[in-house]
């Protein structure tokens, strides 16, 4: 595998360096928030699954479908899968 080389322009203007550093810090903070939210989601789903004795896979799917508001699409895909599976496998 070849490593592609490219030239990097140095940023000599202190104001531009500050702008870039601020964006880097803001993006890093945003990624930290995302990581925390993902951790919360995982923990919340784990707790409710244990409490109600539900499979995590099912609750995760419920959360995703609710978030995307695509229940009808999920049902249609499931029906298509079932029909195809039965026609090929059975």
Instruction: Provide CB contacts within 8 A for 27, sequence distance 6+.
Output: none
Residue 3 pLDDT grade (very low, low, confident, very high; cuts 50, 70, 90): confident
Would the pLDDT of 10 be above 90?
no
Helix (H), strand (E) counts: the chain: 3, 0
- Whether this model's pTM surpasses 0.85: no
Give per-residue pLDDT as tens, 17-44: 999 999 999 999 999 999 999 999 999 9
**Cα 54 to Cα 65: distance, rounded to the nearest angstrom:** 17
What are the residue boundaries of the structural domains of the chain, listed by start? 15-54, 55-90
Which pLDDT score, from 0 to 100, does residue 1 have?
66
């Amino acid at each position: 595998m070849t490593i592609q080389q490219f030239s990097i322009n140095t940023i000599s203007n202190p104001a531009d360096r500050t702008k870039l550093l601020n964006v880097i810090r803001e993006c890093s903070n945003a990624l930290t928030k995302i990581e925390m939210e993902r951790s919360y989601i995982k923990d919340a789903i784990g707790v409710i699954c244990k409490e109600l004795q539900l499979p995590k896979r099912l609750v995760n799917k419920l959360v995703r479908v609710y978030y995307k508001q695509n229940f009808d699409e999920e049902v249609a895909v499931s029906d298509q899968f079932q029909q195809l599976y039965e026609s090929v496998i059975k």
